[in-house]
Chains A and B, each alone.
Chain A
Amino acid sequence: MTVRIERRLTQPRWLPLVVPLGSVAAAFVIIALVLVATGHDPLHAFRKLFLSAFVDNGALSATFVSATPIAFTGLAAAAAFRMNLFNIGAEGQLYFGVIGAVGVALLLDGAPGSVSIAAMCVAGAAAGAAWGLIPGVLRAFGRTSEIITSLMLNYTAGLVLNYLIFDSHSYWRDTKSPSAAVFPQGQAIPDAATWPFATIHGVSGGIAFPLGIGIALLVAAFLWVLYRRTRFGFEVQVIADSPRAAHYAGMRTRRKVLAVMCISGAIAGLGGAGQAGNFDHLLDPRSLQQQLYGYTGIVVAALARYNPFAVVVMAFLLGGLKNAGFALQGADFPSGLVGVMQGIFLFSVLGGELLVRYRIRITRSSRAAAVEVAR
C-alpha cells in the first residue's frame, strides 16, 4: 500500500470553505484531548477562551490592540506573496516604520495633532519602504533570494533599534527624565501626536477602535482595488503565475519587483507608525522584538490566502486568540498549555491548506508481481 500526495487538477467550489472549517473542528478535537489528558475541562476552557477574546468587558478593545500590528504585517506579507515575492522582512520594515514615525513626531513637537499624525504615517511608510527596497533591489538586479535577504535584514533592523536606545545618545532616546537615568528608554512622543481611538460606549464596557485598525482597513481596500482592478495588479498576477508569459507579453518584471517590495515595506512601516502612535508612544526596542509582529503577519497572510479583507479578519481572530491566552492562564492553567493550544490551532489550519491544493491518494501496489517476473 502506498500513500501519495498529488496536486489537485481541479478544485471543487466548496473545498476552500470546507477545509478550513474542518481544520478548526479538528483543532478543537485535538485540543480537547490534550486538555482532558492534562486534567482540564475542555468545554470550560473553550468557553473562557471565547469570552475573554470577544465578549468580556474590555475584551474587544484588548483584541484590537493585539490585532492592529499583525493586520498591517499580514497585509504587507499578502501584498508581496501575491507576486510570489516572499518578503519575510515585515518585522524589520515595521521597526523602521516605528523609527521614522517616532522621529517625525519628536521633530514636529508643537504641531497640531492631525499634521503630526499625517507626517507619522508618511514617514513610517517611507522608512519601511526604504528598508523593503533593499531586498527588492538585490532581487531585481542581483537575483538574490529575497527570502534570505529580507530575513537577515530583520536582525539588522533589530540591532539598529538597540543601538538607537541602548548604545547611543540618539534623537530617539530619552535623556532628560529621571527614570531614563536608571534605565535607557525611548523619548515619548508629544501628546498631540498620539493616535486617537474611536470609542463605542455601553457595549461590553466600551469598545475602543484604534485609528490604526481603520487605516489597516483602508490599506486592505487599496490593495483589493490595486490587485483586482488595475493594470499594475494585472501585471503582478501574470508575473506570479508565469514569469515567462509576463516577459513574452512585454511586462517589465524588475520594476514590478521593486514596486511590490516598496508597497509591502510601506504597509509594514505604516504598521510601525500605528504601533508607535496608538499604543507604545515611544521607541521601545525590547517590546517590539518580543512580539514578532512580522512573523505572525506571515501566518495571518497564509490563513487569509492573501485576500486583503480576509487578512484583517484573520488578524482580528488571531489577536483574540493571543489576548485570550493572557486571560486563560493562571494558577491552574499554565501559560505553556496556552501556547500549546495556540500552536495546535495554527498547525491544523495551516496544515489543512495542503488539502486545498493537494489530495492524498492511497493505492494498493501490486509491485510484487513485476518484481517476480524480473527475477
Chain B
Amino acid sequence: MEDSAANATAAPGGAAVAGRPAIACRGITKRFPGVLANSEVDFEAAEGEVHALLGENGAGKSTLSNILTGLYRADEGELELYGQPVAFHAPRDALDAGICMVHQHFRLVETFTVTENVVLGDHRDIGRSFRIQPRAVERRVAELGARYGLAVDPRARIWQLSVGEQQRVEILKALYREARILILDEPTAVLTPQEASSLFETLRTMAAEGRTVIFISHKLHEVMAVADRVTVLRRGRSIATQQVSETSSRALASLMVGRELQGSESPKREEFGDVVLSVEGLWADGDRGVTAVHDVSLRVRAGEIVGIAGVAGNGQRELAEAITGIRRARQGVVRVDGKALRSGDPRAAIEARIGHIPEDRLHTGVAPSLSIASNVVLKSYRDDDHSRGPLLRLRVIGERARKLIHQFDVHTPGPQVPARQLSGGNLQKVVIGREFTGTPRVLIAAAPTRGLDVGAIENVQTYLRDAASQDVAVLLISEDLDEVLELADRIAVLYEGRVVGEVDAGEATVEELGLLMAGGART
C-alpha cells in the first residue's frame, strides 16, 4: 500500500512515465448481494502510461473497470478525473468524459460496415446529424488506422473480419471519439501471439501521445511486455502498485495469488483407494468450436482430492462439462470404476453417481425461479422416492428439502422460496447438499468458493474434505491457488486446455504453480 503512494508521484526507472494523474480511484468499495467485489481499492493511472491491472479471476478487475466506465456506481470511495472529482451515473457520462472501453466480447453490429460501427453511438456532430457523411468518416478511419497500425478496410462489414480485426475496430471507435483513457479488458484472450504484439505497439503509440491505457490481464508476460506500471488486485483489494521495470514475473505471481498460506488443518491422507475416476485422452471443443480441452488424462482415487489449477478460461469449464456429459467429448473416454460413460449425456454421469458443482451456479446449478424444494430434487425427481408413476410426491420432496436446509444450515424462510433469492453462500449450500445426497462416487467441484464470503468458503471447504474422507473421488477445479494448495492431495495445472504440469501438493510452491498457470514454463 505504501508503494502505491510513492510510485504514483515519482517515476523512476527506465519507463517513460510522465504526466499528471489521469484517473484515480480512492477507497472504492462495491458490494453485491453476498459478495464484496471491491474493497477500498486505490488505483491511479497517469497520462502517457500503459497501466496494467493484474489479478486472478474474481479479484475485482471487471467490477473496477465497470465503475470506471460508469456501468456501476461505487458504494463508497471517490473517482477523480484529471484532479477533479467526478460521478458517473451512466456509461454515457464516462464516454463523454473521454473514457472508452474495449470489452472482451465486442460491442459491434455484425452486419454494419467498419465505418458505420465507428460512427454508431457517437453523438457529436456527425453521428447526430440526420445524414451520415461516409466519405469524410471513411477517410478519418483510414487515417487513424494508418497512424496507429490498425489496418482494416473501412468499408468491410464486421462479419467479414477476423477476431483480431474486429478488435481493431473497437480501438478505432475509441480513437475516433478522441478517447483520452482507453480500458482494455483481457484484450489478448482472442488474439494470436502475432496480433497481440501488434496490439502492444498500438498501445505504446497511444501512450506516447499522452493518452492513458489501462490494460486488464491475468497474463504475467503480457504485463511485463507492455505496461509501465502495474496494480495488483487480489480478492477485491488493491495489493500493490509497482514499476514494471523494478519487478519480476515471479514477484507479481506471488502478489497475485497471495502469499499467506495457512497449513492445512487436518493431516492429509497418505493412503488412497482404487482409481475411481479416470479420464483418458479427453478432447473437447469450446463454445466457439475451438479446441478447449486438449488431450487431458487424469486419475482420481477414492478419498483423494485432485486440484486443477489454472487461470480462468484455460479449459476448466469445458473439462468439467466434458467429464459430466454436459459437453460432448470429441475424443477420449471418461470412466467411473472402470466403466466407460456415454459421452455427451449428463444422465449417464448422474447415473454413474458423479456429483457436479458447476461453475455457473445460478443458471446451471439451479433453476433460479423455481423453489428451493424443486432445486433440491433437480436431479433426483426421477427416483422412486420422489415420484409415483408420473406423479411427483410433493410431500416427500418438501420433506427432503426441509431436511437439507436444516442439515446444511441454509438461511431461508422455507423450501418454497425461489432459489434466486438466496445469497451466494446459501445457494451454494443447496447445490452442494443436493450433490452430496446419496453419497456420490465422484465429485466435480468447479470454482466452488468463487464469490463467497469467508465463512461460506470455510463451510464449502469442510464439505469437500468430508466428501474425501468418505472415499469420494474429488476433482477440485479452482483458480484460487491457496484453496487448491490447502485442499488438494495432487495438483494438475491446466493451461490452454492442456495439463502442463502435475505436482504433489506437499512439494508445490505458489511461485512454481503461478508460473505454470501463466504459461511461464510451458513444456
B32 at the interface (CB under 8 A from A): no
Q: Is B5 an interface residue (CB 8 A)?
A: no
Which of the residues B324, B364, B390 comes within 8 Å of A244, measured between beta carbons? B364
Q: Check if B366 is an interface residue, CB within 8 A of chain A.
A: yes
Report B387-399 CB contacts with A as 1/0, cut-off 8 Å: 1001110100000
Interface-located stretch among A55-63, A230-238, A285-293, A326-334: A230-238
Which of B90-98, B196-204, B298-306 is near enough to bind chain A? B90-98
- The stretch of A44-52, A72-80, A257-265, A366-374 in contact with B is A366-374
Say yes or no: is B365 at the interface (Cβ < 8 Å to chain A). yes
Complex CA distance for A373 and B79, rounded to whole angstroms: 12
Chain B 390-434 interface residues, beta-carbon cutoff 8 Å to A: 390-392, 394, 421
Write the nearest CB–CB distance from B46 to chain A, whole angstroms.
17
Interface-side segment among A161-169, A245-253, A267-275 = A245-253
Give the residues from 330 to 364 in chain B that come closer than 8 angstroms, CB to CB, to chain A: 345-347, 349-350, 356, 358, 360, 363-364
Q: How far is the CB of A365 from chain B (nearest CB, A)?
A: 6
Report if A234-B381 is in contact (Cβ < 8 Å); known contacts: A369-B86, A374-B98. Answer: yes
Docked complex Cα distance between A238 and B346 (Å): 15
Cβ contact of B326, chosen from A248, A369, A371, cutoff 8 A: A248
When distances are taken between beta carbons in the complex, the residues of chain A under 8 Å from B155 are: none
Q: B31 near A: Cβ within 8 Å?
A: no
Digitize A1-18: 1 where CB-to-B-CB distance is under 8 Å, 0 elsewhere.
Answer: 010000000100000000
Name the one of A231, A365, A373 contacting B390, with C-beta atoms under 8 angstroms: A231
Q: Which residues in A have their C-beta under 8 angstroms from that of B368?
A: 241-242
Kindly identify which residue among A229, A241, A247, A374 contacts B346, using a CB–CB cutoff of 8 Å: A247
A237-B367, A370-B88, A374-B96 known; A247-B326 Cβ under 8 A = yes
Give bound CA distance, A371 to B90, whole Å: 12
Quote the shortest CB–CB distance from B45 to chain A (angstroms). Answer: 16
- Nearest A residue to B358 via CB reads A248
The complex places the Cα of A369 from the Cα of B70 at a distance, in Å, of 14
Q: Number of residue pairs across A and B with beta carbons under 8 Å?
A: 98
Indicate if the CB atoms of A250 and B346 lie closer than 8 Å. Answer: yes
B81 contacts the other chain (Cβ, under 8 Å)? Answer: yes
Contact indicator A373/B345 (Cβ below 8 Å): no
- For B87, what are the chain A residues with a Cβ–Cβ distance below 8 Å? 366, 369-370
CB neighbours of B390 from chain A (8 A): 230-232
Write out the residue numbers on chain B whose beta carbons fall within 8 Å of the beta carbon of A369. 86-87
| B382 and A238 contact, CB distance less than 8 A | no
Inter-chain contact B370/A365, CB cutoff 8 Å? no
Taking a contact as CB atoms under 8 Å apart, the answer to whether A374 and B97 are in contact is yes
What's the minimum C-beta distance from A191 to chain B, rounded to whole angstroms?
Answer: 39
Given A365-B89, A370-B93, check contact A245 B381 (CB 8 Å).
Answer: no
The residue from B89, B366, B370 contacting A366, defined by CB atoms under 8 A apart = B89
Q: Note all chain A residues with C-beta closer than 8 A to B84.
A: 373
| Whole-angstrom distance between the Cβ of B53 and the nearest chain A Cβ | 22
Question: How far is B394's CA from A230's CA once the two chains are assembled, in angstroms?
Answer: 9
Shortest Cβ distance from A225 into B: residue: B391
Known: A370-B96, A374-B98. A246 touches B89 (CB 8 A): no
Residue-wise, chain B 269-303 has the 8 Å CB interface mask toward A (1 for contact) of 00000000000000000000000000000000000
Q: Is B248 an interface residue (CB 8 A)?
A: no
Partner of B364, one of A237, A245, A250, A367: A245
Q: B115 on the interface (CB 8 Å rule)? A: no
> For A367, what are the chain B residues with a Cβ–Cβ distance below 8 Å?
89-90, 92-93, 96
- Chain B, Cβ-Cβ closest to A230: B390
Interface residue ranges of A317-375 to B (CB < 8 Å): 363, 365-367, 369-371, 373-374
Query: Is residue B379 contacting chain A, with contact meaning CB distance below 8 A?
Result: yes
Restricting to A204-243, which residues have a CB under 8 Å from any CB of B? 229-232, 234, 237-238, 241-242
Asked whether, in the complex, the Cβ of A238 is within 8 Å of the Cβ of B89, the reply is no
B369 is an interface residue with CB less than 8 A from chain A: yes
- With A231-B392, A247-B346, A249-B378 known as contacts, the answer to whether A371 contacts B97 (CB < 8 A) is yes
A229-B391, A231-B381, A248-B356 as given contacts; A371 in contact with B96, CB under 8 Å: yes
Chain A proximity of B379: nearest CB distance (Å): 5
Q: In the complex, which residues of chain A have a beta carbon less than 8 angstroms from the beta carbon of B391? A: 229-231
Give the contacting residue for B81; candidates A229, A248, A365, A374; CB below 8 A: A374
Complex contact A242–B345 (CB within 8 A): no
Q: Which of B90, B345, B360 contacts A250 (CB 8 A)?
A: B345
Interface presence of B82 (CB below 8 A) = yes
* Docked complex: B64-105 residues within 8 A CB-CB of A: 81-82, 84-90, 92-94, 96-98
Check if A244 sits within 8 Å of B360, measured CB to CB.
yes
B392 close to A229 (CB less than 8 A)? yes
Q: In the complex the two chains form, what is the Cα distance from A237 to B418 in whole Å?
A: 13
Contact pick for B97, options A237, A242, A244, A370, CB 8 Å:
A370
A73 to B82, CA, bound (A): 63
- B363–A242 contact, CB under 8 A? yes
How close is B167's CB to chain A, nearest CB, in angstroms? 25
> Is residue B478 contacting chain A, with contact meaning CB distance below 8 A?
no
| B366:A245 contact, CB within 8 angstroms | yes
Residue of A241, A249, A366, A370 near B369 (CB, 8 A) is A241
User: Which residues on B sit within 8 Å (CB–CB) of A246?
Assistant: 367
**Does residue B374 face the partner (Cβ distance < 8 Å to A)?**
yes
Q: Which of B82, B325, B356 lies in contact with A373, CB distance below 8 A?
A: B82
* Cα–Cα distance between A2 and B89 once the two chains are bound (Å): 11
Which chain A residues lie closer than 8 Å to B85 at the CB level?
A: 373
Q: Which 10 A-B pairs have the closest CB atoms?
A: A250-B347, A374-B97, A241-B367, A370-B93, A250-B346, A373-B84, A245-B367, A242-B367, A238-B367, A249-B378
Q: Would you give 6 A-B contacts (Cβ < 8 Å), ordered by A?
A: A241-B369, A245-B363, A245-B366, A248-B364, A249-B379, A250-B379
Q: B-side interface residues toward A, CB under 8 Å?
A: 81-82, 84-90, 92-94, 96-98, 324-326, 345-347, 349-350, 356, 358, 360, 363-370, 374, 378-379, 381-382, 387, 390-392, 394, 421
Taking A370-B97, A373-B86 as known contacts, 14 extra A-B pairs with beta carbons closer than 8 A to each other, sorted by chain A number, are A229-B392, A229-B394, A231-B381, A231-B387, A237-B374, A238-B367, A242-B363, A245-B365, A248-B365, A367-B92, A370-B89, A371-B93, A373-B82, A374-B86
